[in-house]
Amino acid sequence: MEKTMKNLMEAFAGESQANRKYTAYAKKAEAEGKLNAAKLFKAASDAETLHALKEFEVAGKIGATSDNLMDAVAGETHEYQSMYPDFIKDAEEEGNRAAATVFTFAMKAEEVHARLYQEALENIDQTEEVFYYLCPLCGNIEKSVPEKCSICGIPGDKFIKY
């Protein structure tokens, strides 16, 4: 069973990465006008998501919503406090400004995500509907449409409503 659990989590990681990779490939194919390839990449991306979700479920990694929120807070906190600062430092030392910018945007957004997850945990029984707005450039999430993104500066009317 120990090998199977390790294999489930390795498969989950691989399928999750394939999902994102194929999503990126689909966007590139669309930009190049290669619509059939874009559709195939999108379908494959969705298939990889199905695989990943089932593997994660079978591994017993999906708990009660409160547990899932606590896990999300911990993961996002690790990313903005430990992971991304080190990545930014490395990118700056190597002179890779594009990577440093991407990592900085992600780090700042992850801090917001951690705060929002914590807030959701503290208000888990709230029944009033809450809307979230995603910045399509940096991944920042707001609870109302801002004039402009506080992280990357993109105009608020570009945000996607959830």
- Max intra-chain CA distance, the chain: 52
> Residue holding tokens 């547990």?
67
Per-residue pLDDT in tens (0 to 9) along the chain, 162 residues: 799 999 999 999 999 999 999 999 999 999 999 999 999 999 999 999 999 999 999 999 999 999 999 999 999 999 999 999 999 999 999 999 999 999 999 999 999 999 999 999 999 999 999 999 999 999 999 999 999 999 999 999 999 999
Q: What is the structure's pLDDT at 105?
A: 98
Contact (CB, 8 A) for 135 and 141? yes
CATH fold of 63-127 reads Ferritin (1.20.1260)
Residue 79 · residue 25 · CB < 8 Å: no
Give pLDDT, residue 159: 98
Could you give the count of Cα atoms lying within 13 Å of 128 in the half-sphere of its Cβ?
1
Please give the CATH number for the structural domain made up of 131-162. Answer: 2.20.28
User: What would the pLDDT profile of 21-61 be if each residue is shown by its tens digit?
Assistant: 999 999 999 999 999 999 999 999 999 999 999 999 999 99
CA distance 103 to 108: 9
Name the residue with tokens 């608020």: 156
Counting every residue written for the chain, the total comes to 162
CATH 2.20.28 residue ranges for the chain = 131-162
Among 1.10.1060.10, 1.10.3210.10, 3.70.10.10, 1.20.1260.10, name the CATH number for the domain at 2-58.
1.20.1260.10
Residues of the chain with CATH 1.20.1260.10: 2-58, 63-127
